[in-house]
A and B are shown apart, each in its own frame.
Chain A
Amino acid sequence: MAESLVPDSELLADEITTTAAEERISVATQWQLMWWRFRKHTLAMIGAVVIGFFYLIVIFADFLAYSDPSASEAQRGLLPPQPIQWMDEGRFDPYVYAVTGRRDPVTFKRVYAPDPDRKIRIRFFAPGFEYKFLGLFRTNIHLLGVESGKAEDSLFILGTDLQGRDLWSRLMYATQTSLTIGLVSVAISLFLGVLLGGLSGFYGGIWDTVIQRIIEILRSIPTIPLWMGLAAALPQEWDIVAVYFAITIIISLIGWTELARVVRGRFLSLREEDFVMAAELAGCSRMRIIFRHMVPSFLSHIIAATTLALPAMIISETSLSFLGLGLRPPAISWGVLLQQAQNVQSLAISPWLLAPVFPVIISILAFNFVGDGLRDAADPYGI
């Protein structure tokens, strides 16, 4: 037999390592087990890094932008992205060529030509427009800036939009808006989902029937027409903040159903568990049973479901703003930026307006991967 050929000592060593590994697993906490399992999911790990990167942009949007996002100038509308020259005379010294624009006498389009004699030096941690960092203190330091003059007039990494506003800087602010609006809507959905799903799953009976019917009805309604109707009802004179919160509420009014379904399912399966019965016999109050015994055992599932719900929220906001029914200018979000890319003619002339498509797709992919990884890791005791 093959096994008898293996020296005894090696077998023994093998056995010891397995017991050590088993020991490690058996004393690990639930969250440790989940982390080990999540770590094995390569795509989810990559996704987590990407999301971390996106939220850094959310925090440091002012710092990463180098131009005032609302500084417009018709004289530089639809300027194409400037290629950055990284090296100058053998040294690392990034610069861009100054751009001169004129109107084509035949097509009446503005055409831009780089001026090879005028180099605009790019400087790191350079002063620019003033902002309040994290709402704490005033500063004017930005990651990028130009050596002399204003960045608003000379630096356009991703080109400009129709009103001559710098697309890169606007994209930074759009990321901030779009990714936080998703978080706020998912928080509201989570609250509704846990409350109604919990009621439905824990009490059952008439509560369950009514809430389940409401969920079924909401799920069978095409959401976009309904959202459009609700969003169109927002008064035109509302300011950005009010519209922002109204949109999050509209989106989460329908988004809670999936979370409620998950919570209800967990409650139903846990209600029959021995430890719940034991807690009940020990005379625990309802609230204590729910929050001390049941919630911790399905918290991980809720986190996974929440992560998977986020992309849908982001898509909803982007779609509504794209239609002009969501956030309205001067608010800046991915959807608002894409509004300028609505017709083919402007796209064909200035394809860089499509740039916001990439962060949308990448962030949604990343959230999906992380959500998948979390869902697999949520039940670390399963196979």
Chain B
Amino acid sequence: MLAYVVRRFLLAILTIWAISVLSFVVIHLTPGDYVTSYIASMSASGSMVSEADAAALRAQYGLDQPIYVQYVRWMGLISQGNFGMAMEWNRPVMEVIGDRLALTIVISLAAIVFTWAVALPIGIYSAVRQYSIGDYIFTFIGFIGLATPGFMLALVVMYIGFTYFNANVGGLFSPEYNDAPWTMEKVWNLIQHLPVPAVVLGLAGTAQMIRIMRANLLDELRKPYVVTARAKGLSEMRAILKYPVRVALNPFASTIGYLLPYVVSGSIIVSLVLSLPTVGPLLLKALIAQDMFLAGTIILMLGTLTVVGTFLSDLLLMWIDPRIRLEGK
């Protein structure tokens, strides 16, 4: 058991390191650097940046050093909790990101909670009442959900909300709470705005979960122990919920690991459509402006959070499934 945890933990560390390198390299693939695009935007607005100023800027941000030196410097700064400056904003990266990272997590978690809450009962229903009308309807909706990319669903939801209900379904807060400090009212306002993004983000995953749950449970229901349970006179409810559902639930828990990167990914692009204050729109802007510290930090943090979430879900799985616990012994 301990070996399993250690193995998972080491893998998580390795993954985070790989993500840090990847995100750093990605930013450096871009021809030119921040100063190049800064000069371009300055000359577009009519003012000139001299060669000396450009060199000074490069030296200030360490852009004139070889790439591995820049990476080591970046890592060194991060280990001190300093994520560098967001050049375009001229403010520390963490300050620019602010609440956005937390909101990304909140939205992703809400989507996963939605996925679970919907997929579990529907999956059980579809398996127990296989080939019923309900099963077919849910299968159909599931397929549509699977085939619709989140941002398209967001577009359609926005359109319907706008034309039929004359309401803007985007955003996470009512306008008056946008810049307000955190209070109970603001939290409540956030919760009220959560359902739309959660459903939009969670639908594809939900469709997948329903299919997994249905297939797993169907396999279990055919096993002799279920027949035995029925023969012994257990009520139908108990015969299904007590053992088969519990066994079918295991792969369910393990898919969180796959679901999380997927949902976080989706939240980036859905946020742009629904204008949610997550890191998504910020990342897009930073990438376009080649603001490498900001973009790199966002990719790194998203990746790290996902890995940590996956690690926690592995631990959860171990807690639920004794077979994995015993494997390591």
Contact = CB atoms under 8 A, between A and B. Distances in A.
B29 interface: yes
28 contacts: A216-B11, A219-B261, A220-B306, A221-B19, A224-B268, A226-B299, A229-B23, A229-B29, A229-B295, A229-B299, A318-B149, A323-B272, A342-B155, A344-B162, A347-B155, A347-B159, A348-B159, A348-B163, A351-B163, A354-B159, A357-B152, A360-B149, A361-B147, A361-B148, A362-B147, A365-B143, A365-B147, A369-B143
A344 B170 contact: yes
Given A229-B27, A229-B287, A360-B149, A222 B302 contact: yes
B66 interface: no
Interface stretch (A98-106, A132-140, A198-206, A230-238): A230-238
B155 A323 contact: no
Interface residues of A, number: 40
A311 B144 CA distance: 13
A95 to B, nearest CB: 30
Interface in B1-38: 11, 14-15, 18-19, 22-23, 26-27, 29-31
Given A341-B155, A360-B149, A225 B302 contact: yes
A338 interface: yes
Chain A contact residues: helix, strand, loop or mixed: helix
A31 to B, nearest CB: 26
Q: Which 9 A-B pairs have the closest CB atoms?
A: A233-B29, A229-B26, A224-B265, A232-B287, A364-B147, A222-B265, A222-B264, A365-B147, A233-B30
Contact of B273 (A216, A230, A318, A342): A342
Contacts of B264: 222
Contacts of A232: 30, 287-288, 290
A319 interface: yes
A344 B165 CA distance: 13
A223 B290 CA distance: 19
A368 interface: yes
Contact of B298 (A225, A323, A357): A225
A322 interface: yes
B159 A222 contact: no
A169 B155 CA distance: 23
Contacts of A225: 265, 268, 283, 298-299, 302-303
B310 A368 contact: no
A284 B286 CA distance: 56
B205 interface: no
A222 B306 contact: yes
A361 B162 contact: no
A158 B48 CA distance: 47
Contacts of B213: none
Contacts of A228: 268, 283-284, 287
Given A213-B11, A348-B163, A361-B144, A221 B261 contact: yes
Interface string A343-383: 01001100100100100111011001100000000000000
B295 A348 contact: no
A336 B30 CA distance: 22
Contact of A220 (B15, B27, B31, B159): B15
A193 B264 CA distance: 25
A318 B152 CA distance: 10
A286 B163 CA distance: 64
Given A230-B26, A348-B163, A220 B287 contact: no
Contacts of B168: 344
A369 to B, nearest CB: 8
Contacts of A229: 23, 26-27, 29, 287, 295, 299
